[in-house]
Amino acid sequence: MAVRSKAYQSEDFIHSVEARPVRILAEYAEPLARFHRHGVIDTIVFMGSARFLSREAAEAQIAAVHQQSSDAADIRMAEQALANAAYYEAARQLAFRLTTWARRPSHSAILSAPVADQGSWKPQTEAQPKPTGSASG
């Protein structure tokens, strides 16, 4: 009687359409196992556009465009990249603040970042009022 190999050991199967759910699960399970090995408990993922540049890169792009081209469309695109860099920088700043907060011995502060004024972020440590009374419906 021939010994059958495990399905996950079959290259043909594991790369097949039928095994796609297994591959997707592996893309979740492998990083999760790595996080556990390194003691990572929680993560926050920032989703954004790969087309947005940092402020430094956008400023360098504008300088290069001004040196190499006088085309109004090129200049507008470089200026738009600089304007969009504000979003990149805001995400970078939020990531820094969250990391700094999370590394504090006691990180029970409530994060508050008003949308209209991102520069005035500060942790608020006041206790939040607890709801009183019973739920009625």
Contact 85, 60 (CB under 8 A): no
CA distances from 11 to 2, 4, 18, 25, 43 (A): 19, 14, 12, 17, 32
Report how far residue 19's alpha carbon sits from residue 24's, in angstroms, rounded to the nearest whole number.
Answer: 9
Judgement on whether residues 49 and 98 belong to the same structural domain of the protein: yes
Instruction: Tell me, yes or no, whether 92 lies in a domain.
Output: yes
Judgement on whether residues 37 and 52 belong to the same structural domain of the protein: no
User: What's the pTM?
Assistant: 0.52
Judgement on whether residues 39 and 52 belong to the same structural domain of the protein: no
Instruction: Tell me, yes or no, whether 39 lies in a domain.
Output: yes
Judgement on whether residues 16 and 63 belong to the same structural domain of the protein: no
Report how far residue 36's alpha carbon sits from residue 31's, in angstroms, rounded to the nearest whole number.
Answer: 9
pLDDT band for 109, please (50, 70, 90 cuts).
low
pLDDT of residue 136: 47
In the predicted structure, residue 2 carries a pLDDT above the cut 90: no
pLDDT of residue 111: 53
pLDDT tens digits for 49-108? 788 999 999 999 999 999 998 899 999 999 999 999 999 999 999 989 988 888 887 755
Judgement on whether residues 89 and 58 belong to the same structural domain of the protein: yes
- Look at the chain and report how many structural domains it folds into: 2
Judgement on whether residues 34 and 48 belong to the same structural domain of the protein: no
Mean predicted confidence (pLDDT) in 17-21: 96
Judgement on whether residues 50 and 99 belong to the same structural domain of the protein: yes
Judgement on whether residues 72 and 83 belong to the same structural domain of the protein: yes
Q: Which domain holds residue 63?
A: 44-103
Judgement on whether residues 37 and 70 belong to the same structural domain of the protein: no
pLDDT of residue 123: 46
Instruction: Tell me, yes or no, whether 64 lies in a domain.
Output: yes
In the predicted structure, residue 1 carries a pLDDT above the cut 80: no
Judgement on whether residues 39 and 51 belong to the same structural domain of the protein: no
Report how far residue 6's alpha carbon sits from residue 14's, in angstroms, rounded to the nearest whole number.
Answer: 11
Judgement on whether residues 51 and 91 belong to the same structural domain of the protein: yes
Query: How is residue 69 written in tokens?
Result: 């081209």
